[in-house]
């Protein structure tokens, strides 16, 4: 799956990378490395048209001012393949940008995941997935639970990460948010 994301600014980019490293060292959690860029996702899908994507991303970047984003603790998507994540607060401004992105990119991608649609989207920063198991989840959550994940940051980009099946994702392009507030 490929995705439209916003890369985290420093120092949060570095903090997430350090958490990933600790999760690998302490608990053997390496699945997150398939997408090795600290980010949160706006939309994911199977086949983005690169020509249309670049045009749409430039338009969204030009129309969107840098965006304040707050995180609010730790979360868990449950099921057969659990995901441990940092929760991103859904503010009216964040929701408005998400709707703009969703509308502008709806014809740019085939196979868009409905989990990222405006009604279902749960913005988050993934910390562990792919290899979270009954054997390692408890210890990982105990370690993470005592850390402060209340962060405030300015998001200033929309980026595209290409992650062909079976390979490590790579950042293909990034456009700044440079709209007027």
107 in any annotated domain: yes
Q: What is the pLDDT of residue 24?
A: 96
Residue 170 has what pLDDT?
A: 83
3-state secondary structure of 91: coil
pLDDT of residue 104: 95
111, part of any domain: yes
Instruction: Tell me which residue range forms the domain holding 7.
Output: 2-176
Q: What is the DSSP letter of 89?
A: P
What was the pLDDT predicted at 47?
87
- CB neighbour class for 150 (10 Å; exposed up to 12, middle 13-18, buried from 19): exposed
Burial (CB count <10 Å: 0-12, 13-18, 19+), residue 181: exposed
Say how far apart CA 71 and CA 125 lie, in whole Å: 9
* Count of structural domains, the chain: 1
Over the stretch 99-140, which tens digit does the pLDDT of each residue have? 999 999 988 998 999 999 999 999 999 999 999 999 999 999
CATH number at residue 23: 3.90.1140.10
Q: What whole-number distance in Å separates Cα of residue 114 and Cα of residue 9?
A: 27
Angle made by CA atoms 174, 127, 53, in degrees to the nearest 5:
25
Q: Which residue has the tokens 């293909």?
A: 172
181 inside domain: no
Q: Collect the ranges in the chain with pLDDT lower than 50.
A: none
């Amino acid at each position: 799956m490929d995705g439209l994301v916003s890369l985290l600014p420093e120092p949060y980019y570095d903090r997430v990378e350090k958490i990933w490293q600790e999760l690998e060292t302490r608990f053997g959690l390496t699945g997150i490395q398939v997408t090795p860029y600290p980010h949160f996702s706006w939309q994911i899908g199977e086949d983005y048209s690169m020509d249309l994507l670049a045009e749409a991303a430039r338009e969204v970047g030009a129309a969107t001012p840098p965006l304040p984003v707050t995180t609010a603790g730790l979360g868990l998507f449950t099921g057969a393949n659990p995901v441990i994540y940092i929760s991103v607060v859904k503010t009216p401004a964040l929701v408005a940008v998400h709707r703009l992105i969703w509308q502008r990119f709806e014809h740019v991608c085939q196979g868009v995941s409905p989990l990222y649609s405006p009604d279902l989207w749960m913005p988050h920063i993934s910390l562990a997935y792919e290899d979270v198991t009954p054997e390692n989840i408890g210890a990982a959550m105990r370690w993470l639970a005592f850390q402060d994940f209340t962060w405030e940051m300015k998001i200033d980009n929309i980026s595209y990460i290409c992650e062909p099946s079976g390979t490590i994702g790579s950042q293909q392009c990034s456009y700044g948010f440079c709209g007027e507030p």
